[in-house]
Amino acid sequence: MSVKIKLSLMISLIVFVLLLLNLILNEYSTRVNLRSDVERNMVAISRQVAADVTQNTSENEFVQSVLIDKLSMASYSASQQLPAALEEVTRAQLELVASRVGLSRLSVMQKRGDEYVIVRSTDSREEGTISLSWRQRTLVREDRSDKHYRFWAAQDSPNFSGSAAMLGQETFYTDDGHDYVIRCYLDSERLNDYQKMAHTTSFLEDMKAGNPTILEITGFNPSLFQQGAEIRIPSIIRSKELAERPVPFGTYEYRSLEQDAADVQAALKGKHVFRYTAIHHRAIIKSFILIQQPKPYVIGLVLDKKPLMRLMDEQRSNQLCISAVLLCIVVVCSYGLSNMLLRPVRTILWKVNEVSVGRFDSSIEVKRKDELGQLAQRVNAMSKNLGIYMTKLRAAFEENRSMKEYLESFINHTTDAIHVVDLDGRITQVNRAFEEMFGYTTEEAVGQALPLVPEALKDEEQQTVEQLKSGKPLPARETTRVTKRGERIAVSVTTSPIHDRHGNLRAIASITRDMTSRNEMDELLRRSEKLTTVGQLAAGVAHEIRNPLTTLRGFLQLQQETRKLNERHVDLMLSELDRINLIVGEFLILAKPQATRFEVKDVRFTLGDVISLLDSQAHLCNVIFVTDFGQDDCRISCEENQLKQVFINVLKNAIEAMPQGGEIAVNVRHEDTFVRISITDQGIGIPEEKIAKLGDPFYTDKDAGTGLGIMVSQRIIQSHQGHFEIKSKVNVGTTVLISLPLYKDEPKNPIS
């Protein structure tokens, strides 16, 4: 998907979200405003109804006065026709009197405690109940003549007429001639003529006809819904009155008695109550508004909710149509705008594509001075610089490629095995010499941790790795490695760390050289040196042997002449023979090859044997050995014959360095974990520039020397894990320092 389409979609999506939010907010505000308008209209309609009711109050009062006069005359007539005593009154008498005077119901009440109870009635269901209207009676007439009487009218509804189905009036009469109260009731059926006079509900029909959304207008009598003192009345009577006499005017078809009762009580507290509900499967809005004049009552209004919802649906449809049109316009405009904005970007993209394929000559024609124009200029400059850099990079690449080929050729054609391992011990790179030396192919070696190190040298190899990680440089070391076929080969290993650009250790490179041929050559050199040494020692050994032989010859001639065996002479001859045997044995050590076998020896005894062997040659050269061996333990693990060869080479060089004679100081000391051997002469010394060359094959200042003695001695000491150092000053003398590791007693395992 192109950027142009993406940008167009993003703009369209933002506008769509804004339009959607606008629709939601508009829907919410329309609902709130419409609901507020409906509730205000319902309050206004209720107040208009109240005004119309107030207007008809005078007519209702006139009707009330006519009704009260009629009931007053009926009550007086009934009192004349009924017995004075309550016990003599019967239901038949009450029915007869009610029929004569034109009453709906006639009953008599008597006070029992604090309440007046209906004792006899034309309606048997009322007998034994308490009159509800008695508590709300109003004294209308009272006669103060000789025959006193009182007349009350019940005020359980506002002083205005209701509908024909709900209108009724109730009065009470008593005098001194009766021991009970006469209760008269005239129901709605007998008040039609009076209702026609008032015309109270005619305006309600006109109002509903002018506003079709008004389904019902109801005037609620608060007295039937107020919570007061406990009324001991059968539930059947209470329900009937709530169902038949809850309203003084209007209709009550959309009824919900329990909820309406709660809403009327809330309205009586001065709160405008609005309820959105459904009755008779029709969505409606009911309101309950308190009216204080002419008396407190509640007006109930029922509106049809469907026209209101239809209005909202129409408004919602209009908003959706407008939003859809706006969204289409925005999509088209945003696409065109994106095309216009991205036209220079496409030019820049063309240039970037040219640069990506290596064409740097073409450039963008810049005509704009905005950010895109500046970007085009930067791209042109970048293209020019990249052209220059690419030329240099190609030259550098060719140089690096040549160097890489040279290094790869050097690494692959060198005779030393090279391999690189990571910090986990897995091989990452090998050369051809590695494959030839160890027998592993590159595919077999790379990625594997090969068992090149013998088990006995695992700890030593781990210490080497730890030293590398700690940053300590490691010299080349001679050790043993294992090939793929399990063969052990003597090698010289040089280990080097490989760091990244941050200086962190990432890998370890090892250069391994096969030392088998060199060791064989060293052995030949040692044998050659031995032969040379034997030749030089021959004269001294011959001179040393001639002395005891002369002694033996003299003693034998003396024994032959005296023909007597002198035990003292025999002991001397045996002693001289032992000395000759010792000299010859030491001499033979140098002459015949010995198997390399390390043993634990005290270096002082080995050095003493060599000094004894060279003592005769030293006397011929007027040289004296001065020894200081100390008293500490100087045991080492060594191959004694090789160490003797080292000491012979060093001591012979010291003797030859003092042609005029002198002293050779030989000191042996125990220091830390090493035995330090110091051999110092008083010879002519060695120039400082020549000391560094000592040990090179065939480098010597002697006319008959081979230059192999020092080299062989150094390698012997290295094979014993020791150090060989030469210090010298011209015309002062030379000191040879030899350090060998002390032998450590292995702890003995306890016998289980």
166 has pLDDT over 50: no
Of the listed ranges 208-212, 500-504, 529-533, the least confidently predicted one is 529-533
Domain end position, chosen among 146, 172, 197: 197
Does one domain contain both 653 and 576?
Answer: yes
Q: Are 216 and 302 in contact (CB under 8 A)?
A: yes
C-alpha distance across the termini of the chain, in Å? 82
Q: Are 601 and 635 in contact (CB under 8 A)?
A: yes
Of the listed ranges 239-248, 379-388, 468-477, the least confidently predicted one is 239-248
* Cα gap 112→124, rounded to integer Å: 19
Asked if the structure places residue 286 within a domain, the reply is: yes
Which whole number is the average pLDDT over 557-580?
72
Sign of CA dihedral 369, 375, 378, 384: negative
Q: Quick one: which of 677, 674, 708 has its CA closest to 611?
A: 677
Please give the helix or strand (H or E) that residue 494 lies within, else none. Answer: strand 488-499
β-pair type (297-304, 282-291): antiparallel
Does one domain contain both 470 and 555?
Answer: no
Sign of CA dihedral 576, 578, 582, 588: positive
pLDDT band at 202 (very low <50, low <70, confident <90, very high): low
Q: Concatenate the DSSP letters of all residues of 173-206 into one string.
A: EEETT-SSEEEEEE-GGGGHHHHHHH-TTHHHHH
Please give the helix or strand (H or E) that residue 507 lies within, else none. Answer: strand 505-514
582 has pLDDT over 70: no
Asked if the structure places residue 46 within a domain, the reply is: no
**CATH, residue 102:** 3.30.450
Please give the helix or strand (H or E) that residue 152 lies within, else none. Answer: strand 149-154
* Cα gap 4→429, rounded to integer Å: 50
Q: Quick one: which of 736, 733, 717, 725 has its CA closest to 668?
A: 736
**CATH, residue 549:** 3.30.565.10
Return the pLDDT at 333: 85
Asked if the structure places residue 322 within a domain, the reply is: no
* Cα gap 457→489, rounded to integer Å: 13
Q: Concatenate the DSSP letters of all residues of 595-607 into one string.
A: ----EEEEHHHHH
Asked if the structure places residue 644 within a domain, the reply is: yes
Kindly report the average pLDDT of the chain as a whole number. Answer: 79
* Cα gap 311→33, rounded to integer Å: 12
Structural domain count, the chain = 4
Does one domain contain both 236 and 153?
Answer: no
Does one domain contain both 440 and 489?
Answer: yes
Asked if the structure places residue 218 within a domain, the reply is: yes
Of the listed ranges 69-73, 160-164, 168-172, 413-417, the least confidently predicted one is 160-164
735 has pLDDT over 90: yes
Q: Are 169 and 154 in contact (CB under 8 A)?
A: yes
Return the pLDDT at 748: 47
Q: Which residues contact 138 (CB under 8 A, 6 or more apart)?
A: 152, 153, 154, 155
Asked if the structure places residue 14 within a domain, the reply is: no
pLDDT, tens digit (0-9, with 9 covering 90-100), for 638-676: 888 888 888 888 998 888 888 888 999 999 998 888 999
Does one domain contain both 708 and 587?
Answer: yes
Say what the pTM is.
0.36
Q: Are 152 and 137 in contact (CB under 8 A)?
A: yes
Domain end position, chosen among 450, 480, 514: 514
Does one domain contain both 219 and 193?
Answer: no
Spatial strand order of the sheet with 733-741 comes to 623-628, 662-671, 674-680, 733-741, 723-729
Does one domain contain both 702 and 726?
Answer: yes
Domain that holds residue 449: 414-514
Does one domain contain both 253 and 287?
Answer: yes
Whole-number Cα distances in Å, 195 to 109, 161, 204, 525, 606: 29, 7, 15, 153, 154
Does one domain contain both 62 and 151?
Answer: yes
Asked if the structure places residue 8 within a domain, the reply is: no
Domain end position, chosen among 265, 291, 308: 308
* Cα gap 242→471, rounded to integer Å: 104
Does one domain contain both 110 and 142?
Answer: yes
Does one domain contain both 243 and 103?
Answer: no
pLDDT band at 47 (very low <50, low <70, confident <90, very high): confident
Q: Quick one: which of 328, 341, 331 has its CA closest to 3?
A: 341
Asked if the structure places residue 608 within a domain, the reply is: yes
Does one domain contain both 711 and 621?
Answer: yes
